[in-house]
Structure 1
Amino acid sequence: MTEVDKRLRDVVRQAAGLPFFSDRYAHLDLAGEFSITDVPEMTREDITASMTLASGQPGRGGAYLFTSGGSTAAPKVAWIPIAMHLDAILGHWRPLGPGDVLANLAMPGRLWSAHYFYNGMAERCGADAIGLGHVEAGEWPQWLDFLDTHGTTALCGTPSTLEQVLALALRLRHPILRRLRAALFFGEPCPESLVRLCREEVPGVRLWGNYGSTETWVIGHNGPDCDATTFHVFPHQHVEVVDGSVLVTTLHEDAVSPVVRYRIGDRARWTQCACGGDRALRLLGREGALIKFAGTLVAPDELLGLARADASVAAAQAAWREADPERLEIRVVPGAGATPDVDALRARLLDSQIDLRFALRGDDDAFEIVVVDRLQVNDRTAKTPSLVPLDPPR
């Protein structure tokens, strides 16, 4: 029995002592060497129920309560130890060092975790932190001056925010680019356009990313020599890929509430990262993200992947209206100096979706490629969703 197998069974046995898990684990021989694959998976609803019951349990240290969601549905909660597993994380992923000044662009407040995590990371690394948070687009020229004046060497934020800030600094030929050396991303997939921007236009800025969720906390990390969609799993996180779906069990001894075979909702496969490191997980998108449009099931992420693969497209987002008259827009941001051929792009997307192409006969206006200057961003989290609601017609 390996040390990981032993720790997995210990986590399950500890969980079995809580009311939420006792019935779920009744079929397991907890005294024996049961297989982790015999343990039921956890859903988001399970995570919320178990963590609510586990809060206030004696014999543990203090914790933060963070949430995910809450914009359109009930928030999903997670109790995270005050130390936020930072020692375990920084032992393998350390993008900052003494002398760095981090501009923290993550949104603070409303139980949103990233802002506090990156402030804590800066402290542990011996760096300074400027807790700036969200900035409106028109305010950025003045804030770039401010950040440059105060010696900023690193930025952290969603890929959407980082790309916006770096592209503006490049257009302005802002002196802050002489000092910036790192951009830390989280919260959403890193687009190829941001990778190209850092690699070709601002090569002094190197990309560092982490992957996880509020419920599991940080699962994996990557660095400047890694593929942007590939993350190396931390030793305190046990990841299974079952039929393409990611299941996570948290092994950290300071975990407040059990996270056992949690189905995080992502698709992935094990791969070999360009950096040569091990335990590399390549993310392939969300699972089960289907909408009913034109009488057929459509996977917006598949359409967006095809749109982003077009050389003239820098970024893409789907906007959907379910109510009559239903409509689906694929909104695309042009690449630098490019003009997307919307008719050719629309035809290419429909050719990949035979059912959708057939369903739209005689109703072509319901599906359209729309060129936009920027994509819609969530005001609370600064994330750029793949799918947004389309306003009803006036």
Structure 2
Amino acid sequence: MTAFSLPPEEAAPRLSVARRTLARLRTVPGLAERYEGHPDIRTLDGLAALPPLAKDDLNTALAHLEPTAEHTATWLFQSGGSTGAPKLGYAPTGFYMAGVHAHWQPLDRSDVFVNAWGAGRMWGAHFLAAALADLAGCRIIALGSVTAAEYGPWLEFLAARRVTAIGGTPSVLRLWFTHARAAGIRLPDLRKVLWLGEAWQDQLAEDLAVVAPQARRWGMFGSTETWVVATNTPDCPADTFHPLPHQLVHADADGLLDFTTLDPEMLNPVLRYRTGDAGELTGCRCGRPGPAMRVHGRRDSVVQVRGLGLDVDQVIAHAERAPGVARAQLVLTRQGGRVTELDVLLLTAPGAAPDTGRLRGELLAATFTLSTAFQHDPGNVRVRTVSELIGNERTGKTAALVVREET
């Protein structure tokens, strides 16, 4: 059984956008055959009958389709996941945030907002948040990333400026509030915490209660391919979001979510696009009418490392191509939900001695997430040989990814 976030009578007038997207995909070599024989989209059932679009499919389409940007400049951003060579996606410089702001307004003119999303490496989140703050008309401190030694002075500055709102990925926000709690710094004027990029963290909520007891969370859900799909408020559970009218969410029988953009200005061909997130359509305790989207987490090989997606399978494949490597395994060490270390374990062929230093350098150079997430502590990424990989003693299985929790 499947479900859509919009009822048929509301979706029907908007499906013309999906039909145009389908027509564009039918012109793409490598994708055209997949959609041959499918009728044009007239109903939600017709849309559900189409094959879903995966990340590699979207990258194929973007390589062949030129964006239409007749009325605005176009932003080029890094897409296709956080590993390997960057792949281009497109968005207007406003990042579609006018449509978001029309339905979700966590900021107002009285706010002093700290934009703590990183601004580098062609990631759009920092600029997306800046567009939202600009629409709100508030004062903005475009801080971006800071080093560990800078947290204390910056926190004192933010307290002195009586900051009322801050935004970032939960992993980054947690660094801010962990440092503030340890240093005894309080932000009594902070009322709003905006987040996007990964799941909310319970430890972050605990630190907030001490550092900024008046602060409440305001979440966005989306990706660099779909942009903002849904939002929530302090009255919603942290895993539950309300889809925007121009985003059509589909919960399939297999428990995976896919997204179709009904915004005629969308430049990316987003048609039943799967990000790898599992979830369901349900009600929300906030009482807002219409179905909400509850996100259960990811099912693909992408894991979150300090707010960025790391494709485990791609890293393993790279390591196993190295001479003398029989198998490889990733071990993530987390403390309080945050990744602190990453080890690549190598099981070698008999008599082989792989160059672990060279392989480590290759992985850091080729993998966007590793080079960015560990830019301040690169020594916490290690590659080493072992006599055996970590396996499940009960089943005998050896997983590609092992996550260790430290207290």
Q: TM-score, normalised by structure 2?
A: 0.71
More displaced 10-residue stretch of structure 1: 79-88 or 25-34? 25-34
Change in Cα spacing, 1:241 to 1:199, as seen in structure 2 (3 Å) is farther
2:135 is aligned with what amino acid?
R
Give the corresponding residue for 2:230: 220
2:84 is aligned with what amino acid?
A
* Cα-to-partner distance string for 1:250-293 (whole Å, 9 max, x where unaligned): 00121113210011111112233232234321211111339799
1:371 has 2:378 as partner: no
1:2 has 2:5 as partner: no
Native 8 Å contact 1:41 1:262 kept in 2: yes
Change in Cα spacing, 1:126 to 1:41, as seen in structure 2 (3 Å) is same
1:280 has 2:292 as partner: yes
More displaced 10-residue stretch of structure 1: 277-286 or 230-239? 277-286
Give the corresponding residue for 1:120: 131
Change in Cα spacing, 1:232 to 1:199, as seen in structure 2 (3 Å) is farther
SS state of the match for residue 269, structure 2?
coil
1:154 to 143, 165, 169: 165
Native 8 Å contact 1:16 1:25 kept in 2: no
The structural deviation recorded for 1:56 is 4.5
Give the corresponding residue for 1:52: 63
User: Does 1 or 2 have the higher relative contact order (CA < 8 Å, sep 6+)?
Assistant: 2
Aligned equivalents of 2:148, 2:68: Cα separation in 1: 44
The structural deviation recorded for 1:45 is 1.5
Q: CA RMSD in A?
A: 3.5
Aligned equivalents of 2:18, 2:402: Cα separation in 1: 49
* Cα-to-partner distance string for 1:209-231 (whole Å, 9 max, x where unaligned): 11100001011111111111111
Q: How does 1:96-111 map to 2 (within 5 A)?
A: 96-111=107-122
Aligned equivalents of 1:11, 1:32: Cα separation in 2: 9
Structure 2 stretches of 5 or more lacking a match?
A: 1-7, 303-311, 317-325, 350-390
Aligned equivalents of 1:270, 1:158: Cα separation in 2: 24
Native 8 Å contact 1:65 1:111 kept in 2: yes
Structure 1 stretches of 5 or more lacking a match?
A: 308-312, 327-354, 373-394
1:39 is aligned with what amino acid?
L
Give the corresponding residue for 1:323: 346
Change in Cα spacing, 1:140 to 1:10, as seen in structure 2 (3 Å) is closer
Native 8 Å contact 2:12 2:42 kept in 1: no
Give the corresponding residue for 2:392: 356
Aligned equivalents of 1:197, 1:276: Cα separation in 2: 28
Native 8 Å contact 2:280 2:293 kept in 1: yes
Native 8 Å contact 2:62 2:89 kept in 1: yes
Aligned equivalents of 2:273, 2:111: Cα separation in 1: 36
Q: How does 1:1-394 map to 2 (within 5 A)?
A: 2-17=9-24, 19-20=27-28, 22-30=32-40, 35-57=46-68, 59=70, 61-68=72-79, 72-175=83-186, 177-199=187-209, 202-242=212-252, 243-277=254-288, 278-289=290-301, 314-315=336-337, 317=339, 319=342, 321-324=344-347, 356-358=392-394, 369=404, 371=406
Q: TM-score, normalised by structure 1?
A: 0.73
1:16 is aligned with what amino acid?
A
Aligned equivalents of 2:218, 2:403: Cα separation in 1: 35
SS state of the match for residue 222, structure 2?
strand
* Cα-to-partner distance string for 1:185-225 (whole Å, 9 max, x where unaligned): 11111112223333566321111111100001011111111
The structural deviation recorded for 1:148 is 2.7
2:234 is aligned with what amino acid?
P
SS state of the match for residue 181, structure 2?
helix
Aligned equivalents of 1:204, 1:146: Cα separation in 2: 19
Aligned equivalents of 1:30, 1:5: Cα separation in 2: 13
- % of aligned pairs identical? 31
